[in-house]
Structures are given as structure tokens and as C-alpha cells.
Amino acid sequence: MMQPKNSLLDLSAIRARLENARGEEYWRSLDEVAQTAEFQAFVDNEFTPGTSEWKNPLGRRDLLKLLGASIAFAGLTACTKQPPEKIVPYVRAPEDMIPGKPMYFATAMTLGGYAAGVLVESHMGRPTKIEGNPEHPASLGATDAFAQASILTLYDPDRSQVVLRNGLISNWAAFLAEVGLLREGLLAKEGAGMRILTETVTSPTLAQQLKDLLAEFPEARWHQYEPAARDSAVGGAKLAFGEPVNTIHRIGQADVILSLDADFLASGPGSVRYAREFAARRREGGDRMNRLYIVEAAPSSTGSIADHRLPLRASDVEPFAWAVAAALGVAVPAPGSPAPSGWVEAVAADLKKHAGSSLVIAGDQQPVAVHALAHAINAALGNAGKTVVYTEPVEAAPVEQGESMRQLAEDMRAGRVETLVIIGGNPVYNAPADCEFRQGLLKVKRRIRLGLYDDETSGLCHWHLAETHYLEGWGDARAFDGTVTIQQPLIAPLYGGKSAHEVLAVLSGKGELAGHDIIKEYWRGRLGEAGFEKTWKTALHDGLIAGTAVAPKNVSVRKDFAAALPAPKGQEGMELCLRPDPTIWDGRFANNGWLQELPKPLTKLTWDNTVLISPATAERLGVANGQVLELRRAGRTVRGAAWILPGHAENSATVHLGYGRTRGGKIAEGPGFSAYPLRTSDAPWGGGGLAVSKTGATYKLACTQDHHSMEGRDLVREATVDEYRKDPHFAQHVVHGPVKELSLYKEFKYEGHSWGMAVDLNACTGCNACVVACQAENNIPVVGKTEVARGREMQWIRIDRYFKGGLDDPEVCHQPMMCHHCDHAPCEVVCPTGATNHSSEGLNQMVYNRCVGTRYCSNNCPYKVRRFNFFLYSDWDTKSLEPMRNPDVTVRSRGVMEKCTYCVQRINSARIESEKEGRRIRDGEVVTACQAVCPTQAIVFGDMNDPNSRVAKLKKDPLNYGILDELNTKPRTTYLARLRNPNPELKKG
Amino acid sequence: MEAEQRQDPGAAAVAATRAGEVPVIGPGHTYASVTGKISEIVLTTKTPRGWIIGFAISFLLTMMLLFTIASLLVKGVGLWGINIPVGWGFDIINFVWWIGIGHAGTLISAILLLLRQEWRTSINRFAEAMTLFAVACAGLYPLMHMGRPWLGYWLLPYPNTMGTWPQPRSPLVWDVFAVSTYATVSLLFWFVGLIPDLATLRDRTKSRPLRVVYGMLSMGWRGSAIHWQRYETAYLLLAGLATPLVVSVHTVVSFDFAIGIIPGWHTTVFPPYFVAGAIFAGFAMVLTLAIPLRKFYRLEDFITMRHIDNMGKILLATGLIVGYGYLMETFMAWYSGSQYEQYMISNRMNGPYQGYYWALIFCNILTPQLLWFSRFRRNLLALWLISLVVGVGMWLERFVIIVVSLHRDFLPSSWGMYHGTKYDWSMYIGTIGFFLALMFLFIRVLPMISIFEMRTLVPEPDGKAKH
Amino acid sequence: MERRRLYGVIAQFESPGDLLAAAQRAYAEGYRKMDAYTPMPIHGLAEAIGFRRNYLPLLVLIGGLFGCGAAYLMLWSIETIIYPLNVGGKPFNSWPAFIPITFETTVLFAALAAVFGMLALNGLPMPYHPVFNVPSFALASNDRFFLCIEAKDPKFDYEATRKFLESQHSREVSDVEL
């Protein structure tokens, strides 16, 4: 049935493979030992006549099993797929695996090209959990929600698993052959008509490979495009300094921060670090406490923690910036400010008062002018070099990607493009509408695509190559400050994918190189032969190459920059405001169930994007939640459900990108609507002239929190810094609880350890990282939109979001809510089987296999933090998900109650360690998943019996209070009241 | 047969004097006529068409119940509308509703017996049967409402290899004991009451197989004076035991809520007002069944207007107690000064479920006020309609207590809504069908009125001695 | 021989009054081994034929006490000895929480004692009894009242006893065959 194309066998590769083969490998044929795709195909075909209709999920699963079978047949003995090369464990523990004991490896995940260092927990060669890398500047030990969820993408059964040629299963060798011919053609005409489209590139190796390729084909062009690229940052810097520079904020140094529509605590490069620094200053309270002003259209996580938030239409932020700049003596004309009178003056005065320790940050979605003005203001305030630092660009080629894409599209439509290689991205889905990328693409003779999913773009390409996940392939990337991390794979490609490096090697005629060799060789050249092996090993171990941060750079704002600024164009009528989605970003995470089911920080909606409008605007339009609106802008229309968001700017509609996917996975296809049709290259983040009309249709949305008011209950307690100075114990004086000592019977004593948790409401930005971390750590299932809509979501932590004050400009509070492990637990008393009871260390523990599912405990829980398996929610069938699960945590079955356990499995592993060394568990040795991931360190867990533990100290803090204390439930999870630091000059706040 | 020739003219008068204005048994009855009339309903060979139709319908509904239970076992309780925060819905609502209905039987048999209310005689038998069947329906719910019903036996205390036991602080375990005890005692009470009548059937039936069956069931009862003596002692003691039992059962059921800390549950008034509510609902159901039965089987002589009237009065009295309960709930919520309690009440009255609350007030408080007037107490149709309204009202009461309290408790962030799904309804209607099916079978094969107790109401014929 | 095959002589009455009178007279005559059969309980009848002691209440008391003790003992031992658990910070021996179960079990055992005690003392079930041989005895569960003087009675004399019974306004007197 198969004709081995031995001509195509890469013998050198086979030799290489046989050399670094560990142990004996028996092999039957050259194809087999070379692991050529023919061999795979052979095994597939031999055992599955049916794999041709691979589109239906079942078929795909079969294929998976058979891939497994094929490996077994190929004589590989390992049941887990360790990469053949040597990767270096992070921990000092012996490098050979101890069964049941996880190992940690350092690598980095990139988003928008920028790296965030992570440590990956690996059980017997199976990566199961992402943690932050404490030594990495962009992580400091924490991560964002995306990194937490990336583990699910790795095991996603919908990921593309084969090489496709015109939609039919082909193989790598066939592609190699094609490229061979292709190169002959290209060499002839110096690569004319050849284009490469990538996303933002910070990888030095990839940059080098592209450079070499372009050197070989001088006529070829390299384009970059991704929807959430930071074009304005690049453009703004060019405008202000005449050259592209990278901007790094020193949030920790800033006393007063003005954010011009910048969600810098929750998204964008370095946001995790920024959040940490911000919270650190916040926590200090008193005089050291920083103050944050923000002007933005749709409330963001950053906006929710700001001391002063001014809802302004995105297009009004620029005039506001002009006004502030003028007020601070920057030589610019001052137009009328859209802010209420006194605002600009007060902010400007405050900034001036803290000249040198203040900071103005411009949002990535704001036009270049705002960035230029921000630079100018910072310069005028003398912040440059103190709270804001400029460096060489981190991106390999900082271009304005919208423009780059526009050119490519133009050339394609003009037929100037013969060969297009698309590395990652998904332009067919997310290119600006006016580029008409699809039409252009169809004019291209040869379209080659490397992608994680067989998505919209792959559907239109001749060749689709399965890409490796970042945990599967070698690579390198730079962080927001330029620090380089070598990405080492945790597992061999599950679906035999290829990395961008490997594909580029092929394109540049180097044949089939292993990603590892490409990266290593590049850095050998870069770092020099001397002691390289050692450096390399250290780099892999630490998860970064020391001293690769880009150097600071002295730049000064051009005198005449103001002249070059495009005049702010006022906007009439409604304004459209496009933003990357807080949970699925630009759509790349659309097939990730954890992120889809993650409630959006402000709206608490899951599985959908909506048209966000302010209450007043909703009244004017006569719209209610869930009513379908038709949005028309620049002659293009989309339809989406309305959602009323208090605090949104008037006459403005915010729509998140990334939904409405039509291809690329069972989960991705379906939910929400795509806003990309409204995206034009001249207004990538929306603009004026939006026409909104009602369609009369309604759409069911799944929201996890229907009620937004606190009903005057003292759940989130807060005060201004001044009130705090007057009465530090205000939080405890709000409610008169029962006298703790009064009891009819004697209390249980908790000798030994007594676990407890403190959550700092002053630091929580509602970023959701803890929710996903908990989901990953504790094998929490995804239930789907309909079940969420019925109030059956399963996340063990939920982040309660309350609005305070007026509808139009409310204050927002976040309150992480998980099991409080009450000492007088109401749930325990009513359990008929004793399936939930108290441990000797104070844990409220669930005995799953004793639970009969009466739900009485949940009814009687005043915090409603228990979750019930109404159906069999855990996926017991999908093979590819099995290795992902945390082996230390039960996978729950139908009819069982579950809830936060304080990560008891982590407590126990720490206990084992401590008992081996015959000592108490040290403070900080047990770190719950939510605590570990929290960028602002808002969650602290520990032993309350140890007077020196952080948690014990926090419990003594005057701000510490327990909610519903008056019920005498004696919760072990308590909260630190929130402080606000308003500017006395401004009435509100 | 031959007894019929000896009609006693004085009988009616005697009965009347004994029973006050309206007699508890129609005029002109003798031992034989009572025996004959009641046993005939069972022993007749021709089944009434009405019975066949009624049974067929209720049997189909029973099949629907079985289907629902099967799907619940296969798919899970997620088929219902329950969620977090509303973890209990129709399941526990209907459980409490049925248990409540089940209270009238024992109450009539036991408490009225102790109070020497002889008018109870003609209604206690099927009231007891009603109790049994209602408890059977009620029992289905706690079992099926579990996430893993096949492990229901874990609530029973038995030594096992896991060394685990039920957790006796949980009101659900109390329920298990209370309800199973109640079911057992009610069954014994009912059966003991049946023994002499089974003997009567044994002696009167013309078919041999039936004689064998009734013979076995009657255990060779021959009416010996000494047996009667012990029999009456036992019956009296059972009544004495069943009286506190019947009170305790609904008290325990009310603990399911009173023990909880949820506003709207955590209330000390619950035990008495649940018991009153149970009697209220129970008598309503007795009327709902008695009035048509009386008509269909022409039992006007045995279930006289006096019975009807008395039951109407009891309905009124218990209705007023229940009303007092509602009043106290509201008062305490205000008096407690707890913002959660106060919100709970205002949420009942003005919240998303206010319709249920006001309907409940209409059904349970306003409607029964009609019973102040004997005009309504003695109008069969009116009384029957009122009893139906009360039945609905008591269901609404449980809905308000369970769902409306749960859906908005302490943290507004966790608030939600609850709606019954088609599986909720099919289970509810299914149990009603099951209940009726059992009821139909009962009136067909067993005397629905206690024959021997009716005999005691017959005026004594003057024997030869007087001549 | 027919004498030995005789269980007793039985008289049938039409009203409870006649029966009661006859029973009292028979007792006065010195008859002791006799029994009356009626379709419903008749007050004073049992005493009339010399029934004195009724042990049933005692049995019920014992049953109740047993249930009470057993239940509390079980709960107490489960929660303090067999498998003590910290449940919501409540003491192991949460006696108030044990009361409902203890109460229910008390009632249960008392009731069982009442019913099965009654049956046992009455010697039921008893499928066969000689009086069933009397054809008209079927009316004992309908509207007739019977008094049976047994052959075992020392004062029993077939002729005399028969005469005595006939003299008691009985409707008919018949032999009860063994």
C-alpha cells in the first residue's frame, strides 16, 4: 500500500538519530528509524482505513490511539515521550526521575512575541502544571491566566496532528520534496514573489534565520502581523524620539501614576511584574501608598483598582492627554479637555507635585499621538530614567504591523505574491477587513502554513504543517526587558509537529534540522565556544540567559514632535472600541475550554463576547442585556448581544475580539461573534461613526454573577487612607459579631499545624490567574455554556465583583471567594454520611468516595463555595487529556460535591518532605496554586500556629476581617480590608 | 340476608341521640347491612367502569414516574432544575408535601381515637391507607434526590468493612429514622385495624382462592372475647404511640430547615407550624378523596354531613395556625433586626418569586376563611374546591420556604434563579399517579371503611331477653 | 366415639346483650373453660368469662425502654468510641443531636412490641380452630354472637350444658366437633 520514497530519506538525520538513541532501539526499516512521516502514514493506513475522514472528532481520537500504537510498533519503549535531547531539571534534585515526585523545568511562554518565564511541573515526563519562574524578570514567580491555561492547549485533542496537502493527509517528506522544487524556482529569481508572514518576533534565533533567508532571497519580503500588536507604541516612540525604543516602567518607583487607557496591570508585556510592583507599593498603606488615575472607556482590571477612574470614550483620551500635557507645560496646543472641570488640573498638579516619581502610561490601543504625549509628559516631569526607562527595541524588527499587513495584502491582490509562508497567526480570520486578505490569499500560487490548529487560514492554504506547542519544541524568546529565555520542551511533540525554526531551516535549504540543534548552534555562535556547555546548562536551568536584558538608552523628545502629531479628530455619534478579549486574547485561545469558561473580569460573562455599553447609552437605545444589536461601521456590519456595563463611557460600544471562529476546533467554533469585520487598518482599535440598531432578536448569555450590588452588606470593607489613619481597626468595627469566647461547649484545639489564608483585597485586580491555576491544579472540569447558564460552573475559586456608587461611574471591588474552612462549618453538621468533616489541622475536607450527593452542605454554606457534579462533567473518554491531569488529585465523578481543599495535596507533599527531615513544615513551604500564581501576592496561606508565619502576622493586622463573622462560622480564610488613596482635590472617591 | 328482614325503627333515633344533631351513621342500619354494604364493594365481581378508567390513567402516570426515575439513574440529577445556590427544588418540596399529606391518616386514627371522636370511624381506614401511600411517594424523593442514589443505604447504621457510620448530627439521618419509623408504625396500625375485617371478608367471599388469601391475611381471627380484649389494648397503645410519633415526624422534617443557617430556614417556629401545616394538608387531601368516593360508592350513610362538617372545621383551625406561623416568621424577621432575615422577607414579598408568595397567602390564609360559614362547610363542591386550593397552597408554601430562601442568601454574588424542568414535573405528576393507583387498588381489594368499628356504631338490637 | 370427638358446645345469639347475660350466667353456674366470639369488641365480655390479667402494656413498656437505650448507646458509641470525627467543631457526644433518633427508635420498638405481643398472646396466626367447623360460625364475623363452653371444662356435661345454653335465649345451639 505504500511506496517508500527512499530518495527522500535524510540519511544524516537517521545517523544522528541512531547516535543519540538512548538504550537499544530496534528498527525494521530506514523509514522506521528515521521516524519519517511515511512510516507514520504506513502505520496509520495499515491500521485505520478510516483515517481519511479525520474531520469527525471520533475519527481523530482513533487516529490518536493509532499514533500511539504506531510508536509502540516502532519499538519505542517509553510510555511517556521524553524529548531525545538532554533537558535540565530546575530543581537540584537528582536528575533521574523519582516516580511520583514531580520535577520542574524552566521555559517561557510567549504572548504577542514577548516571553514570560515559567516553571513547568512534570510528572514522569508529563507536564501537568505551569508555575511562574521566580528568577525571570517578567514573572517573579507569578503568571497570567493565559500561561496557566496553556497546558490545556498542549493536550488539546483538536490540535492539528498531521501535514495536510489541499486538505488531505500528506506527510513531512512530501513537503520536503515540494520545498526542494520551490527553492530551485526561487533561487532562479532571487526569491521574487516570496513572502513570509510571521507574528511579532523577539526570538533571536528566528530573527537570524529570517535574516539568512532574506539574504539568500534578496527579493523576498518578511511581514509581521498580529491583531494585538503594539503598533502605537512603536509609532509613538518614532514620533517622540525619532527612533523606535522599548519602554519599561518602574511602577515600584512611581508615587502617582496616570494611565491613559492602559490596562498595564493585566495585559501587555511585563504586566505580571508591573502588577507585583504596583501591589507592593499599595500594600504599604500610609504615605508610601501610590495613587493611580486612569481614564478609559470600558472598565478594566487596572481601572477597577484605580483611586480615580474617569470614564472617557477612547477617542477622548487623546484630547485629555493634550490637556494634561499642556497643563504640565509641554509645548503643545491645549484643546478643550473632555474631562469634568478640575480633573485635568488636579491630576496635573498631583503629577507635578511628584515630578520624578510620577508616571504616565499610554495604552497600547491608543493612537500614536497619545504615546508621544506620554513620552513628552514623562520627560517634562523628569520621570525618564526614574519611573520610565527607554531601551533598544526588544522586537527583532519593530514595524507597524498594520502597515506591514496592508502592504502584503495589496501585493497579494495585485498578484505580486507567488509564494506565501504563514508562520503561526491566523490572518484569514483576523486581518483588518479592508485588507481583504482572503481574496488576496486566493491569488497566491503557493500558500504554506505552519499552525497549531487547522484553522480558517489553513483551510485556504495548499500546505498545512502541524506546529509544535511551546512545551513541545525548542525555541528562544525575549521578555519585555529583553531578557532571553531558552524554551526547552517538556515532552516530545505529541502530534509530530514542527517548530518555526525547523520549518525555516527547511525553507533555507538546511534540510531537516532538529530544533534543539538550531537553537543551540545559534547561541554557541552568539556566546562563544568558551565554557558554552556550562552557560547553556545554566541558561536552561535558570530559565534565562543572564545579562541579555537590553541596555537602557538615552533618548530625548524631539522639540518639534508636537508639530508632527496628527491633529486629534473629534468624533460624532457612537464610537466603536475594539479590544483584545480578557480571556481568549485575539482568538488564539478560542479552543481552550478553561479560558472560554473563565468569567470575564468585569462582566463575569463566559463563552461569549458582547457589545458593552453604558447604562445611559442602553437607556437611550432602549436596549436590555442579551438583545442582539447590529453594529455598522465603514460599510461593514456585525451582530452581537448587548451587555450593559456600569462605568462604561457614554456613546461608546466596546467589543472584544477573538470570538466567532468558524474553524479551528470543536470549542472555538461557535461561541460569540467576530468583530474583525469592523476592524480597518486605519482604525485598528475602532473609531467613530458607529451605527447601532436593534434587531429584535435576543441571545442567551451565560453569566456567573447576576447580582452586582452588595445590598449594603459588609462583605468588602474599605476606607480611604485618611480614614485608615484615624481608625486602623475600622474593618473590625463594621459588624458586631458574637463574642468568640462564648460557647456552650469547649472548642477543639488544633495543635500542630493550623492552616489559614488571608486575602488582600487591596491588591486583587481580579485578573483571574488564580481561577485557572486552581482549575489546572485540581483537575476541575469544564461544564460548557448551557450548564454555566444554569448556575453549575465548577471553578473552586470565584472572584466576586461588586459595583459601588452610581451606575455611570461606580467603584469596582473584587473579592476572591473560595472555601473558608470554617471551624464551625455549617456544611459539616448537616452531612448525613460525614463525607465532609474537619481535619486535625483545621481543614474542612471532602471525602469524595463517601459523598452521596444530597447537596445539603451546599445549601447550608453561607458562602456558597461548594460545587456539585450534577452530571459526569469530568472527561473520562478523551485519551489525550489523561496525561494532563494532576496525579495527586482525584478526578471527580458524577453526583459528588467538591470544593477548595486548600490544595491539601501540596500540604501533604510538604509534610512528607518535612517528616523525612524530621522537622516542622516551614512557612512558605506550602504554597497553594492560587497563591503561587497571584501576580500581586494578594493570597497568603500558611500555618496560623506558627507566630512568625506571614499568615499569622496578617491575621493580627488591623485590616484583617472575616466575612459573615457574625454567624460565628469562624472562617479560616479572612480578608484584608481595601484602602483607597483618593486625591483630596477631587470631590469623588 | 335474613338479617335484612329485621329493620329496627328505633335505630336512627338512637343513633341520632348518641351523635348529636347529625348522626354519624345513616338511619336503619344493622350489623348485617353495614357488613354487607361495605364488604360488597370489595367482593363484587363486576368492577365499575369508572374504577377501570381511573386506574388506567393513574397507572400510565406511574409508568411515567418509572421512566423519570430511570433517566435520573442513567443521566444524573442534573436533569432537574437544581443548581448552586438552589441545591434543593421539587425533590424536597414534594417530599415535604407528601409527608405532610401523610399525617392526616395517623392523626385521625390515633389522636381522634384517644379523644373518643367516634365520627372518625368511617374515615380512618382510607385515611390510614392514604398515609401509607403518601409516605411511599414521599420516600421516593430523598432517595432519588441524591447524586448517587445507589448509595442511599449509607444513611443506615450498619456495621461495614469501611467502619463508617452515618453522621447523626445531620437532620437527614433523623429523617431516615423518623420517616421509616412512621412508615412502619402506620403500616402496623393499618394492618391491625384490618385483621377483623379480613376475617369478615374470609367468611363472606364466595371464591375459594380469595377465601384462602383473606384467610391467610386474617391469620385465623375468630373474634374471641379475650382476643378482642388484647386487641383493643394493642390498638389503644398504638394510638398512644402514634400520636407523639406523628408530631415528631414533621418536627424532624422541619429540622431539615430549622437546623440550617439560611435566612428563611433558621427559625424556631418551624416545628409547630410544620405540624399544623401537615394536618392542614392532610385533611385537605382526605376531603379531596372522601367527597368523590362518598358520591361514587353512595356512602352517604357512613360518611355523613357530620364528618364533612367536622373536617371543614379542622381545616379552618389548622389553617389559622399556619397563618399564625407566617405572621410570626414575618414578625421575627423584623424583630430580629438581622438585615439578612429582613431581606429574606422583603424578597419573598417583592422579589422575583413574589407571585408564589402571594398565591400561597391566597390559598392557605384567605380561602380557608370561607369555612367560618357552615354554608361552605356543607356544600360538597365548595368544600372539595377549597381542599384542592389548600393542597396547592401547601405545595407553594414549601416552594417559598425552600427555593425562595436558597436563591438569595448571604452573598449577593452567589444569588441565582431556579426553575423546574420537565423532569421535575414528570416526577411530581408521576408520584401523584402512583399515589392514585395505589389508592384505586386499595378500595378495590380491601374494605375502605372499618366494618367492625362501624358495627359498634349500630344501635344494639334488643334480643330475645326483652320479650 | 363422638364424646371424645367433641370440642364443646356453642350457642348463637342475636344481640350482644343476650350473649353478655348468658356468659355471666354460665360463669355463675361454675363454667370456666369457655370463650365468646363476636363480630366486634363488647365491653365487659372478657371479664364476664373470667379473663383477668393482660400483660400487653408491660411488653410495650419493655420494648420502648429497649429501643431507647439501644439507640442512644449506638449513637454515643459511634461518635465517641468507634469513629469520632470533628464535625463542625461540635463535641463528640452531641447529646441534643442524638435525641430525635433515640425518640423515634423508642416508638418503633414499643409499637413492634404492641403488635407482635398482641398476636403472640392471642396465639395468632392460627389457621385452624375447631369452632370453624360449626357451619353458622361464619356469622361470627357478621352479625351473630357466640358462646362456646368447652368439653375440657370439669363441670362439662353434654346434655346439661346443652340444655343450659338453650335456656339462654340462644338462637341455636350446636356441637363443636374436633
Question: Per-residue pLDDT tens for A753-798?
Answer: 999 999 999 999 999 999 999 999 999 999 999 999 999 999 999 9
Nearest to A230 by CA among A109, A369, A367, A387: A367
8 Å CB contact of A839 and C86: yes
Average pLDDT over chain B, rounded to an integer: 87
Show Cβ contacts of residue A911 under 8 Å, excluding neighbours closer than 6 positions. Answer: A921
Note the pLDDT of residue B182: 93
Question: Per-residue pLDDT tens for A952-968?
Answer: 999 999 999 999 888 88
8 Å CB contact of C40 and B453: yes
Count residue pairs from A and B with Cβ separation < 8 A: 160
A705 vs B: CB within 8 A: yes
CB-CB contact of A186 with A419 (8 Å): yes
What is the DSSP annotation of A604-646? Answer: -EES---EEE-HHHHHHHT--TTEEEEEEETTEEEEEEEEE-T
H/E/C letters for each residue in A285-354? CCCCCCEEEEEECCCCHHHHHCCEEEECCHHHHHHHHHHHHHHCCCCCCCCCCCCCCCHHHHHHHHHHHC
Q: What are B221's three cell numbers?
A: 381471627
Task: Compute CA C44 distance to the chain's CA centroid, rounded to the nearest angstrom.
Answer: 15
Q: How far is A905 from chain C (nearest CA, A)?
A: 21
B-interface mutation test, from C45, C118, C173, most B Cβ less than 10 A away: C118
Nearest to A594 by CA among A453, A788, A771, A425: A771
Q: How far is B263 from chain A (nearest CA, A)?
A: 10
Banded model confidence at residue A48, pLDDT cuts 50, 70, 90: very low
Number of alpha helices (DSSP H) and beta strands (DSSP E) in chain A: 32, 38
Banded model confidence at residue B23, pLDDT cuts 50, 70, 90: low
Q: In the Cβ-directed half-sphere of B161, how many Cα atoms lie within 13 Å? A: 0
Rg value, chain B, Cα: 24
* pTM greater than 0.80: yes
Q: Which residues of B touch A706 (CB under 8 A)?
A: 415-417
Nearest to C56 by CA among A847, A220, B226, A455: B226
Q: For residue B20, is pLDDT > 60?
A: no
Task: Compute CA A183 distance to the chain's CA centroid, rounded to the nearest angstrom.
Answer: 38
Query: What is the C-alpha to C-alpha distance for residues A481 and A459, in angstroms, rounded to an integer?
Result: 37
Note the pLDDT of residue C67: 95
Q: For residue A857, is pLDDT > 80?
A: yes
B-interface mutation test, from A704, A830, A838, A969, most B Cβ less than 10 A away: A830
Q: Which residues of C touch B179 (CB under 8 A)?
A: none
Query: What is the C-alpha to C-alpha distance for residues A631 and A617, in angstroms, rounded to an integer?
Result: 14
Note the pLDDT of residue B14: 42
Q: How far is A796 from chain B (nearest CA, A)?
A: 12
Q: For residue C161, is pLDDT > 90?
A: no
8 Å CB contact of C87 and A748: no
Note the pLDDT of residue A611: 94
Helix (H, G, I), strand (E, B) or coil at A114: strand
Banded model confidence at residue A15, pLDDT cuts 50, 70, 90: low
Q: For residue B96, is pLDDT > 80?
A: yes
Which residue of B lies nearest to A853 if distances are taken between CA atoms?
B147
What is each CA distance from A718 to A98, A818, A987, B338, in whole angstroms?
Answer: 48, 20, 18, 22
User: What does chain B come to in residues?
Assistant: 467
Chains in contact with A, where contact requires at least 3 CB pairs less than 8 Å apart: B, C
Q: b or e along A349-363 (b: 16 or more beta carbons within 10 Å of the residue's beta carbon)?
A: ebbeebeebbbbbbb
DSSP type of residue B299: -
Note the pLDDT of residue C30: 84
Query: What is the C-alpha to C-alpha distance for residues B227 and C35, in angstroms, rounded to an integer?
Result: 10
8 Å CB contact of A824 and C85: no
A-contacting residues in B 200-259 (Cβ below 8 Å): 256, 259
A847 vs B: CB within 8 A: no
8 Å CB contact of A853 and B166: no
Query: What is the C-alpha to C-alpha distance for residues B244 and C100, in angstroms, rounded to an integer?
Result: 12
A-interface mutation test, from C78, C79, C80, C90, most A Cβ less than 10 A away: C90
Nearest to A872 among B76, B151, B170 (CB): B76
Q: For residue A188, is pLDDT > 70?
A: yes
Note the pLDDT of residue A335: 73
CB-CB contact of A286 with A719 (8 Å): no
Evaluate the omega torsion of the peptide bond into residue A227 and state whether it is cis, within 30 degrees of 0: no
Q: For residue A118, is pLDDT > 90?
A: yes
Note the pLDDT of residue A79: 47
Q: For residue B402, is pLDDT > 50?
A: yes
Chains in contact with C, where contact requires at least 3 CB pairs less than 8 Å apart: A, B
Summarize the confidence of residues B348-355 as an average pLDDT. 92
Q: For residue B79, is pLDDT > 90?
A: yes
Summarize the confidence of residues A838-859 as an average pLDDT. 93
8 Å CB contact of C88 and A838: yes
CB-CB contact of A787 with A700 (8 Å): no
Question: Per-residue pLDDT tens for A549-601?
Answer: 888 988 888 888 888 777 766 667 899 999 999 999 999 999 999 999 999 99
Chains in contact with B, where contact requires at least 3 CB pairs less than 8 Å apart: A, C
Banded model confidence at residue A96, pLDDT cuts 50, 70, 90: low
CB-CB contact of A267 with A580 (8 Å): yes
Q: How far is C109 from chain A (nearest CA, A)?
A: 23
Note the pLDDT of residue A242: 87
Q: Which residues of B touch C139 (CB under 8 A)?
A: 203
Task: Let me know if B378 is exposed, middle or buried by CB neighbors in 10 A (0-12, 13-18, 19+).
Answer: middle
C-interface mutation test, from B37, B179, B217, B241, most C Cβ less than 10 A away: B241
Note the pLDDT of residue B17: 43
Note the pLDDT of residue B12: 41
Query: What is the C-alpha to C-alpha distance for residues A678 and A686, in angstroms, rounded to an integer?
Result: 7
Note the pLDDT of residue A371: 92
8 Å CB contact of A896 and B147: yes
Q: How far is C66 from chain A (nearest CA, A)?
A: 25
**What percentage of chain B carries pLDDT values higher than 70?**
93
What is each CA distance from A970 to A781, A825, A907, C88, in whole angstroms?
Answer: 30, 8, 21, 10
Identity of the residue numbered A155: Y
Note the pLDDT of residue C170: 82
Phi-psi region of A926 (alpha: psi -120 to 50; beta: other; left: phi over 0): beta
Average pLDDT over chain A, rounded to an integer: 86
Q: For residue B163, is pLDDT > 90?
A: no
Q: Which residues of B touch A870 (CB under 8 A)?
A: 76-78, 82-83, 147
User: Which ipTM did the prediction report?
Assistant: 0.89
Identity of the residue numbered A468: T
Task: Let me know if B305 is exposed, middle or buried by CB neighbors in 10 A (0-12, 13-18, 19+).
Answer: middle
Q: b or e along A42-68 (b: 16 or more beta carbons within 10 Å of the residue's beta carbon)?
A: bbbbebbeebeebeeeeebebbbebbe
Which residue of B lies nearest to A814 if distances are taken between CA atoms?
B413
What is the DSSP annotation of A42-100? Answer: HHHHHH-GGGGGTTSHHHHHHHHHHHHHHHHHTT---SS---SS----SSSS-SSPPTT
Q: Which residues of A touch C86 (CB under 8 A)?
A: 748, 837-840
Residue that has been written with the C-alpha cell 363484587 in this structure: B44
Task: Compute CA A25 distance to the chain's CA centroid, rounded to the nearest angstrom.
Answer: 40
Nearest to C88 among A826, A839, A840 (CB): A826
Helix (H, G, I), strand (E, B) or coil at A276: helix
Banded model confidence at residue A818, pLDDT cuts 50, 70, 90: very high
Count residue pairs from B and C with Cβ separation < 8 A: 210
Which residue of B lies nearest to C77 if distances are taken between CA atoms?
B165
Note the pLDDT of residue A20: 59
Query: What is the C-alpha to C-alpha distance for residues A522 and A202, in angstroms, rounded to an integer?
Result: 14
Question: Per-residue pLDDT tens for B290-337?
Answer: 898 888 888 887 788 888 888 899 899 999 999 999 999 899 989 988
8 Å CB contact of B228 and C42: yes
